Amino acid sequence: MKPYQIVDRYARSVFELAEEQGKSETFAHEIDVLSRAMRNQPKFLDLLENPLVTREEKRALIKNILTVEAVHEPPLLLERFLTLLVEKGRIDLFSAMARQLHNKLNEKRGVQEATAVTARRLDPNVVELLKKALEKMTAKKIVLNLQADPSLLGGVRICLGNRLLDGSLRTKLDSLDSQLTMAKV
Amino acid sequence: MLKPEEVTSAIKSEIQKFEKRLQMESVGYVLQTGDGIARVYGLDDVMASELVQCSDHTYGIAFNLEANNVGIVILGSDADLKEGSLVRRTKRIVQVPTGNALLGRIVNPLGEPLDSKGPVPAKTFRPVECVPPNVVRRQPVKEPLQTGIKAIDSMIPIGRGQRELIIGDRQTGKTSIAMDTIVNQKGQGVHCIYVAVGQKLSSVVALAKMLEEQEAMEYTTMVVASSEDPAPLQYLAPYAGCAMGEEYLYNGKHALVIYDDLSKHAQAYRQLSLLLQRPPGREAYPGDVFYLHSRLLERAAKLRDEEGGGSLTALPIIETQAGDIASYIPTNVISITDGQIYLEADLFYAGIRPAINVGLSVSRVGGNAQTKIMKQVAGMLRLSLAQHRELAAFAQLSADLDQATKNQLTHGDRMVEILKQDTLACVPLERQVIAIYAGNKGYLDDIRLDLVKTFEAELYKFMETKYSAVVHDIVKEKVLSETIEKRLIEALSAFKKEFLTRHGN
């Protein structure tokens, strides 16, 4: 499934620019931090979208925030990217672009993200085993994201992007239930 | 008597058979939901019109496959569906239970029971969408499907495997014709399926009760998607009903499916299409509304004898607005079907019931399927009645007519009178033949118009008591041989003489 074209186009151009400067990793990290911050402070996005706030004010706002956040050198590329998005009125797509950039970096590094949902927290040894097995299956480096959901009862449910490996007891019981209650006379 | 041990062992064996293989599934996540549709991100390799599982017991159909989302219509309630909910592929299309387990049942378009008779113990299932049999597997329509309605069986005959449209304004007796046809199939080996799309539940209940009283539910299934059901179920209902009929078709049996009505079906499909943002066309219907009905009606067929010789007859119903048969959906369905029965409100209110407009009604293949004797008796009936209507309209303008025209008018009036019929008063073939023969040969011309119905009723009784051999021969031979005709004339003359002395005219 393709992302929206415009999101992909913006993300690709800024990613290529970052690569040329050899800063794709730091840039992706910066974007990640910013998008997480924006999710926590939705008002900031509202402010950037607000037509009553002038362009100069917005530009100053972005500059201020980034100089406060940055520890070492100021993230020039990010600042320019944000300013561009504000000026073109595309800032509402920022979180989608951040996700797309994240995917691009993973693709470049040969990393696949996976989510493993289990009924209880897993033993670190088991996690390691699971990771090995998934790496063998996908032939990619796996970054495993662990979640606990007691309603699963047992087993594990693994999400790899748009694919699902469902070995949970809950699903097994549900399908057994539907098979047994199907009318048979 | 059900024993607990038996149940336990049955469950045990089921569990032993149960083995779920762990495999990679394709899933998606709901982006947006509302109005019975959902847009889903993911489901990378889902196929068009595949069944998808939205939550535990909610299913949907993948309708639109777009570049960045999949449009899904939800079968049932969309209340449990939220943004971010998981949607799974099932790798199959919608199936409905089929076979004898459905006889006498009222089910929804997914085959789930709506009556109080417990679960449907079906052994077989069929996908709702199916490729119709091709040219090689078919044969021409040749067996009659008796409706028990004199006007239809004589002038607009329907054959098994035919698609005959019933069209007319609201309240002109469209459903009554369908109901009479179902009731008349008793003992004929025809399994009936009545599909109600977008109708009031109260009228569906009334129909079910009526069929029950007529003992017609024994061979009938009702598929109901009422007006309170979501549009996806209304869209699905005719296909589900057709799949139930196909089970009989492909097993060498006969089925009759009534789609009541396809205008509501088109509206449900229009609703879905507009919500999925498919481009609207004429009257805001989507571009494939013709295909919607043509692929449904093309599944009606008469199979070759080597294929079992089964048949699926389709009687679609279309409701017109103020008699306009030239609007979009009516013209579409008229062009798809093998003929139409056009009911007119004016005729209905003039007391001519069934209110069939003879001039605009036609059966394009049924003539070959008509019984020989009926063809001999009623051959020119449709044309002469159509002429009579024009003449009658013309005669209203002028006061004095010549005797020949007057005679023609009286004869026509008697014919119209004899073709009138109450609902649920099915007339068997032999009676139809006798009545129409008597009318055609002018035996009624000197009977008072208000006595025609009495004449008809008494004639049937007279024939069956005093001349039962003739009646028997008509049923057996199904041909108007010279001997039968001679005896029929003899009987009719005898009866008329007796009738006239009794009623004095």
Query: What percent of chain B is modeled with pLDDT above 70?
Result: 99
Q: Domain ends where: A74, A106, A138?
A: A106
**CB within 8 Å: B42 and A1:** yes
Confidence band of A68 (pLDDT split at 50, 70, 90): low
User: What are the angstrom distances between the C-alpha of B5 and each of A47, A176, B45?
Assistant: 70, 20, 45
- pLDDT in the model for residue B282: 95
Helix (H) or strand (E) holding B245: helix B231-249
**Which chain A residues are closer than 8 Å to B56 by Cβ?**
174
**CB within 8 Å: A180 and B11:** yes
Transcribe B390-455 into DSSP letters. HHHHHHTT-S---HHHHHHHHHHHHHHHHH---TT----HHHHHHHHHHHHTTTTTTS-GGGHHHH
What's the whole-number mean pLDDT along residues A32-39?
86
Q: Does residue A90 share a domain with residue A39?
A: yes
Assess whether the previous peptide bond of A123 is cis (omega < 30° from 0).
no
Report the chain B residue with the minimal C-alpha distance to residue A134.
B24
pLDDT digits (tens, 9 = 90+) for B222-243: 999 999 999 999 999 999 999 9
What's the whole-number mean pLDDT along residues B399-412?
89
Please give the residue range of the domain that contains residue A117.
111-184
- pLDDT in the model for residue A184: 46
**CB within 8 Å: A176 and B69:** no
How close does chain A come to B262, measured CA to CA in Å?
Answer: 31
User: Is the per-residue pLDDT at B20 higher than 70?
Assistant: no
What does the alpha-carbon distance between residue B104 and residue B117 come to, in Å, rounded to a whole number?
10
**CB within 8 Å: B68 and A179:** no
Number of domains comprising chain A: 2
Mutation to test the A interface, candidates B27, B69, B100, most A Cβ within 10 Å: B27
B172 touches B354 (CB < 8 A): no
Q: Does residue A86 share a domain with residue A141?
A: no
What's the whole-number mean pLDDT along residues B51-76?
90
Q: Does residue A164 share a domain with residue A102?
A: no
Q: Does residue A20 share a domain with residue A58?
A: yes
Confidence band of A185 (pLDDT split at 50, 70, 90): very low
- pLDDT in the model for residue A71: 59
What does the alpha-carbon distance between residue B451 and residue B448 come to, in Å, rounded to a whole number?
5
* Residue B428 CB contacts under 8 Å (≥ 6 apart), including other chains: B146, B148
Q: Does residue A43 share a domain with residue A10?
A: yes
User: Is the per-residue pLDDT at A153 higher than 80?
Assistant: yes
In the three-class reduction of DSSP (H, G, I as helix; E, B as strand; rest coil), residue B256 is classed as: strand
Residue A115 maps to which CATH number?
3.40.30
**Which chain A residues are closer than 8 Å to B42 by Cβ?**
1, 161-162
ipTM tops the 0.85 cut? no
What does the alpha-carbon distance between residue B500 and residue B505 come to, in Å, rounded to a whole number?
6
Q: Does residue A79 share a domain with residue A41?
A: yes
Q: Does residue A122 share a domain with residue A102?
A: no
**CB within 8 Å: B69 and A1:** yes
What's the whole-number mean pLDDT along residues B98-127?
93
- pLDDT in the model for residue B472: 93
pLDDT digits (tens, 9 = 90+) for B363-405: 998 788 899 999 999 988 999 999 998 898 888 887 788 899 9
pLDDT digits (tens, 9 = 90+) for B281-290: 999 999 999 9
Q: Does residue A122 share a domain with residue A96?
A: no
Helices in chain A by DSSP H: which ranges?
5-20, 24-40, 42-49, 55-69, 76-88, 94-109, 124-138, 169-181
B79 touches chain A (CB under 8 A): no
Q: Does residue A123 share a domain with residue A75?
A: no
pLDDT digits (tens, 9 = 90+) for B135-174: 999 999 999 999 999 999 999 999 999 999 999 999 999 9
Query: What percent of chain B is modeled with pLDDT above 90?
Result: 81
Q: Does residue A19 share a domain with residue A87?
A: yes
B255 touches B300 (CB < 8 A): no
Q: Domain ends where: A106, A136, A152?
A: A106
Confidence band of B254 (pLDDT split at 50, 70, 90): very high
User: Is the per-residue pLDDT at B17 higher than 80?
Assistant: no
User: Is the per-residue pLDDT at B64 higher than 50?
Assistant: yes
Q: Does residue A132 share a domain with residue A75?
A: no
What's the whole-number average pLDDT of chain B?
Answer: 93
Which residues of B are marked as active site?
364
Q: Domain ends where: A83, A106, A129?
A: A106
**pTM listed for this prediction:** 0.89
- pLDDT in the model for residue B426: 94
